Structure 1
Amino acid sequence: MLAALRAALRKTPQFQYNAKGLMIGIVRPEWIWHAKAAAGVLLGGGRGFSNDDFRRPVHIIDRARRASGKAPEEMAIFRPEHQALYLATSRDAVPLALRLAADVIVDIPTPTARHIVAARKVIGGEDITMAVAEAIARQPAEVVIGLTARHSLAGLDLSSLSTIDASAPRTPTLSELPGYGPLRPWVEAIKRDVGDWREERIRWSDVDRGILLVGPPGTGKTLFATALASELGFELVATSVGEWQGSRQGHLGHMLSAMSTSFANATSHRGAVLFVDELDAIGDRLRMRSDHTYYEGNVIGRFLELTTHALDQPGTIVVGATNYGHLIDNAILRSGRLETHVQLDLPEEEERADILSYHLDHFLSAAELREVTDNLMLATPADLEKLARAAKRAARIRKGVLSLQDVKAVLPAKVPLPEQVLHRICVHEIGHALMAMASGSAEEINIRVESHMVEGAAVQDGGRVHYKMSNRALPTEKDLLAKMRTMLGGTAAEEVVFGSRSIGAGGVEGSDLDQATRLAYRLVASYGLGRALRYQVGADRVDESFIPAPELRAEVDVILAREYRATKELLVKEKARLMRLAAELVVDRQMRIEKS
């Protein structure tokens, strides 16, 4: 801690020239008393001094007493004859008068691996490698002190260090976690920026520090925030809008107080990631209901104020998470607040294998696991973690080494699809593919279908089509209608081949019919491409909360019926090709179609 304190004060006049002055040091709570002892040695010229040494006093500011509302001991502000050092766990804990009077305010880092190696040399301990020192440096304060003072660390099991203090388990860093492909560029950029900020090469205002994660449940949004904090060496302050709303009776004052407390907890650290889950529940002023306008308006306004203030505080990063990004007020998502928006989708084939291998502690390689994970197209990262826990449990029960058979043994039970159902699914997917090719914008199409279904699952994905489309910078009405026909191609193909349709095109959000209907509403209510040249709602606001006028609903019905007829007519002409490709897909289970 002495080395860490020396590093923090090295550039100050008080350290370089022995100048008198008031100094404030910000240190993590678990290290504050050790920092006081180290300051006694440093300011005492190496000899140390007693707490009543009035020439160079070291004080600890009791943040807990201040936060509890108990009257703190009055603190007289004076110009010291030599130097005085005040230690606190956050800037907010320091009285304003003292902050203004201070000649310097510094952040005191926790001891690094280099500090541990140096300390062991000073006390005469046996030399240790830098790898061992780095493993020790990641531990809680008491563990660091105990292992640094120990004469010999021969035979120390580094893997057991994370279990020494069960109250402070080590969390993985993002560098250690698989997946998160879309987030990697942002993470690498912020790591560089935070490093430059710590070295005082840039200001905190030069760091990108607000991000929104959008994705379905189980895609790893919470884990991302935890691993990001670990990667940066920051504290994690995790909360949710639901937690704020559930504070006491949930009245407006209680909600705002709980929200303010979370932000205050984050900004009290010199380096923290504030993770706010369920952010869509914060509200959107464009969707306010008249009976809740006062409540929601105050909540959003206070959230905007707190977010702006927090992002201005050095070392504070705000990570929001939601399943429904379109339900969040635009002012929250603008530049300067949660300005970076990243969509987290289900992992692809290679990612699924990497994620499962990670949760199996790499006992099985990703290459070995592809046999299993290639058939888990709908698995989220959370599903894969659950599967890994079950497989490790199976290996423990049989008292053997984890194997691929353990993984297979705990897979969800599957039953084969009847041949006629599989045939219908293949016809459906080929219908999408043919309509995509007919649009002229598809460069390549990959199709994959499942031959089995999971027992008990409420929603099944029998097949999936991936399109490689050419980009249209400014899509025309013709382009959008072609896209709509692609969405309707699956159910139209079923009717062309079988004379009837299944429920496979609808039933859930994100289904073919859901997407086609929303696109039709955007045409007439947002893009001005309907019968009337009108604008009623933003394209991103056409969702389940959008209530269209009766005439808009009638016009959308006309558009969908017209485009469905056109889709059927084209597929009737292509029926022979449709049936041939569907038969091939039944046999091969996957297919690639390229633009000729």
Structure 2
Amino acid sequence: MYHHLDSKTFAEASSNAARFLMLCALRKALRGTDQFKNNAKGIIVCIVDKAWIWHAKSAANVLMTGGRERAYYDDFRRPVHIIGEIPRRATQKGVEDVTVFRPDHQVIYLASSLDAVSFTLQLAADVIVNIAPPTARHVVAARRVLGVEDVDIELAGAIAQQSAEIVVGLTVKHSLKGLDITALAEPVAMPDRSPKLSDLPGYGPARQWVDALKRDVDDWRENNIPWSDVDRGILLVGPPGTGKTLFGTALANELGFDLVKTSVGEWQGTNKGYLGDMLAAMSQSFADATSRRGAVLLVDELDAIGDRSTMRGDHAYYEGNVIGRFLDLTTHALEQPGTIIVGATNYAHLIDGAVLRSGRLEKHVHLELPEDEERAEILAYHLGHAIRATDLREITDRLRLITPADLEKLARAAKRAARIRQGEVSIPDVKAVLPAQVPLSESVVHRICVHETGHALMAIASGLADVISVRVESHMVEGQPVQDGGRLHYQMRNEALPTEKDLLARIRIMLGGTAAEEVVFGSRSIGAGGTEGSDLDQATRLAYRLVGSYGLGKWLRYQVGANRVDESFVPSSDLRAEVDGVLAREYRATKELLVKEKARLMRLSAELVVDRHLRIDKE
């Protein structure tokens, strides 16, 4: 047991008011014990008020370890246990299975009632102490180390008599001037924790998982199921601005949990980013989450954690240690009752497979740009529903490539415009702050229509889709690439085990746009390439997977994992030559088919020029 903490550990412990208050309370209660005075081995049972018990666990860990990271190979070596709450292991009757052992070190058991402690453990305990809630002096001390305004002992005493939530809230409040002591006897209204996930529009792909999670958490709180029956890890994948961070915040609010927000970049930026500093920062984030009664740990930029299968050179030792420690911490955290981990990334394929396996971040949700109805609902939400979503469709239907973050920014600007004119936000306010729209010439629109119709005809010819919807824009947002002027929507048939023929058909669909341009105009534009995710990018990557991973090329070989075909993949010269041959062959086949269908291609693209929207059904 550590009587004195080093300056770094003390700073970390005192930064959390609840933990610091309980650290003071624990030291006060244990000061007279032989375990505290002489660091004697033994079992310490502490009875703590239920509202303070999870803060007491965090404080007890600091007291027992001095803030130093320790490895625990089994439950018996952990220095602090909580019993009598939602147990990690329970019998069918929900009674915690506590094994009594004689430790070769000190161990603390925390319980909210002596009745929750088994008679065997009571007999085995070297000391049983009651931990009183923090006192007035503890409140004064906490405010001093937090650097907020001093408080007199009378007011601190009145604060210390309140519930745990009020004590913590008022302890961290910068100024208590004007606070009515007599009013503290009345419950203080808790602030609204909104937005909850159920309040937010969008997030369609994640809704089913969240609904099931909420039901399971409710059952866990009622002791109907153990924590091990709850889904606890999810990975959010999507481009920037699709609301991954907001999801973590709203999920925590939905469940009534705390949010612990961090990122791999934040860990790497600790001090000078040395391995020890990185691992310590990572461990601290996990410890913060697991010390709470319920927490969502949001880890952003998760792709930066690395992948052991691609490690090379001097950084392999560093990256291997980081990934290994992250896996250990994740496994341990998800076993702790009330801990949920949300990972967020733009590049799921760069994450080590062990992070994403069952039992860790096992649920994977892809967040795409919102659809027409969702865009209007998201903007209406950020406008405080001052304008109905249906009335916003005339605006949002023209913003098909806008992200949820962009919509929030648009709403802020519109509300600011309304405040300047001292009125309620309105449609004209929203229109006034829209990004500049650049009209496209008829010749450019015509080429886009031909390009998208070529994709559509190849999709129909593939036999993999029955209904295709095409939409093109008359204007582009300033700075937006012209390649985004058209959008093709179709649902591929569910091919659990696609054949070589299916994959080649998909390549021809991707090449259909640029081939259609050559058939109609005699030349091609840049519309098929130039950006990540473009037609050529997708076709090329699929061709590499075809011949270098699936063994469906000239040679029966495996050179690279299908999910590793990214910008970091460097193919061999013979593999590159074979891919060039596949793309050239499929482009010729695509062009030949579109030449035969030229009359239909020109007719449908002309309809698209007029209507800007086209639906094509399989004949």
- Same fold, TM exceeding 0.5? yes
Alignment check: 8 A CA contact 2:44 2:108 kept: no
Correspondence for 1:243: 266
1:274 aligns with 2:297: yes
Q: CA deviation at 1:476?
A: 1.3
1:176 aligns with 2:199: yes
Correspondence for 1:540: 563
Any idea what SS the aligned residue of 1:266 has? helix
Any idea what SS the aligned residue of 1:445 has? strand
| Change in 2 beyond 3 A, CA 1:90/1:219 | farther
Which of 305, 315, 325 is 2:348 aligned to?
Answer: 325
Matched residues in 2 for 1:495 and 1:313: separation?
Answer: 61
Q: How do residues 556-567 of structure 1 correspond to structure 2 at under 5 angstroms?
A: 556-567=579-590
Alignment check: 8 A CA contact 2:44 2:109 kept: no
| Change in 2 beyond 3 A, CA 1:282/1:382 | same
Matched residues in 2 for 1:508 and 1:184: separation?
Answer: 31
**Cα distance per residue 1:484-542 (max 9 Å; x no partner):** 10000000001111111111111111110001001101110111110101111221121
| Change in 2 beyond 3 A, CA 1:91/1:590 | same
Q: Which moved more, 1:557-566 or 1:450-459?
A: 450-459
Matched residues in 2 for 1:493 and 1:144: separation?
Answer: 76
Matched residues in 2 for 1:447 and 1:98: separation?
Answer: 66
Matched residues in 1 for 2:604 and 2:166: separation?
Answer: 58
Matched residues in 1 for 2:107 and 2:180: separation?
Answer: 32
Percent identity of paired positions between Structure 1 and Structure 2:
69
Alignment check: 8 A CA contact 2:483 2:528 kept: no
1:283 aligns with 2:292: no
Matched residues in 1 for 2:405 and 2:370: separation?
Answer: 11
Matched residues in 1 for 2:166 and 2:435: separation?
Answer: 38
Q: CA deviation at 1:402?
A: 1.0
Which of 60, 64, 68 is 2:25 aligned to?
Answer: 60
Any idea what SS the aligned residue of 2:197 has? coil
Matched residues in 2 for 1:145 and 1:438: separation?
Answer: 78
Which of 484, 490, 505 is 1:467 aligned to?
Answer: 490
Which of 392, 399, 417 is 1:376 aligned to?
Answer: 399
**Cα distance per residue 1:103-144 (max 9 Å; x no partner):** 5379x9xxxxxxxxxxxxxxxxxxxxxxxxxxxx99985599
Matched residues in 2 for 1:240 and 1:144: separation?
Answer: 41
Matched residues in 1 for 2:184 and 2:392: separation?
Answer: 41
Correspondence for 1:204: 227
Any idea what SS the aligned residue of 1:497 has? helix
1:91 aligns with 2:57: yes
| Change in 2 beyond 3 A, CA 1:538/1:79 | closer
**Cα distance per residue 1:298-342 (max 9 Å; x no partner):** 110010011011111111111100000011000000001101100
Q: How do residues 284-303 of structure 1 correspond to structure 2 at under 5 angstroms?
A: 284-303=307-326
Matched residues in 2 for 1:573 and 1:79: separation?
Answer: 85
AA paired with 1:398?
R
Point out where structure 1 has 5 or more consecutive residues left out of the alignment: 1-27, 37-57, 109-136, 163-168
Q: How do residues 400-415 of structure 1 correspond to structure 2 at under 5 angstroms?
A: 400-415=423-438
| Change in 2 beyond 3 A, CA 1:84/1:332 | closer
Correspondence for 2:75: none
Correspondence for 1:390: 413
| Change in 2 beyond 3 A, CA 1:146/1:551 | farther
Correspondence for 1:436: 459
Q: CA deviation at 1:201?
A: 1.1
Matched residues in 2 for 1:270 and 1:211: separation?
Answer: 20
Q: CA deviation at 1:458?
A: 5.0
Matched residues in 1 for 2:436 and 2:167: separation?
Answer: 42
Matched residues in 2 for 1:523 and 1:90: separation?
Answer: 57
AA paired with 1:333?
L
Correspondence for 1:425: 448
Correspondence for 2:84: none
Q: CA deviation at 1:204?
A: 0.8
**Cα distance per residue 1:216-255 (max 9 Å; x no partner):** 0000000000111111111111010011111101111111
Alignment check: 8 A CA contact 1:444 1:469 kept: no
Q: CA deviation at 1:79?
A: 9.1
Correspondence for 1:344: 367
Matched residues in 2 for 1:473 and 1:366: separation?
Answer: 38
1:569 aligns with 2:534: no
1:452 aligns with 2:453: no
Matched residues in 2 for 1:147 and 1:178: separation?
Answer: 39
Any idea what SS the aligned residue of 2:395 has? helix
Q: CA deviation at 1:170?
A: 3.7
Alignment check: 8 A CA contact 1:212 1:319 kept: yes
| Change in 2 beyond 3 A, CA 1:420/1:293 | same
Alignment check: 8 A CA contact 2:376 2:390 kept: yes
| Change in 2 beyond 3 A, CA 1:173/1:331 | same
Alignment check: 8 A CA contact 1:191 1:232 kept: yes
Q: TM-score of the superposition, structure 1-length normalised?
A: 0.78
Alignment check: 8 A CA contact 1:30 1:141 kept: no
**Cα distance per residue 1:540-581 (max 9 Å; x no partner):** 121111111110000000000000011011111111111111
Alignment check: 8 A CA contact 1:453 1:460 kept: no
AA paired with 2:25?
I
AA paired with 1:366?
A
Any idea what SS the aligned residue of 1:320 has? strand
**Cα distance per residue 1:173-215 (max 9 Å; x no partner):** 1111111111111111111111111111111111100110000
1:265 aligns with 2:288: yes
Correspondence for 1:117: none
Q: How do residues 469-548 of structure 1 correspond to structure 2 at under 5 angstroms?
A: 469-548=492-571
Matched residues in 2 for 1:183 and 1:233: separation?
Answer: 18
Alignment check: 8 A CA contact 2:19 2:56 kept: no
Q: CA deviation at 1:59?
A: 8.7
AA paired with 1:403?
S
Alignment check: 8 A CA contact 1:171 1:226 kept: no
AA paired with 2:363?
T
Matched residues in 2 for 1:427 and 1:205: separation?
Answer: 55
AA paired with 1:99?
I
1:591 aligns with 2:557: no
Matched residues in 2 for 1:74 and 1:500: separation?
Answer: 87
Q: Which moved more, 1:376-385 or 1:474-483?
A: 474-483
**Cα distance per residue 1:263-282 (max 9 Å; x no partner):** 11111111111110000000
Any idea what SS the aligned residue of 2:538 has? helix
Matched residues in 2 for 1:375 and 1:180: separation?
Answer: 21
Q: CA deviation at 1:594?
A: 1.1
Alignment check: 8 A CA contact 1:90 1:269 kept: no
| Change in 2 beyond 3 A, CA 1:145/1:233 | farther
Alignment check: 8 A CA contact 2:220 2:227 kept: yes
Matched residues in 2 for 1:219 and 1:79: separation?
Answer: 49
Matched residues in 1 for 2:368 and 2:183: separation?
Answer: 43
1:307 aligns with 2:330: yes
Q: CA deviation at 1:474?
A: 1.9
Q: How do residues 133-172 of structure 1 correspond to structure 2 at under 5 angstroms?
A: 141=169, 149=185, 162=191, 170-172=193-195
Matched residues in 1 for 2:198 and 2:36: separation?
Answer: 44
Q: CA deviation at 1:90?
A: 4.3
Correspondence for 1:20: none
Matched residues in 2 for 1:144 and 1:354: separation?
Answer: 43
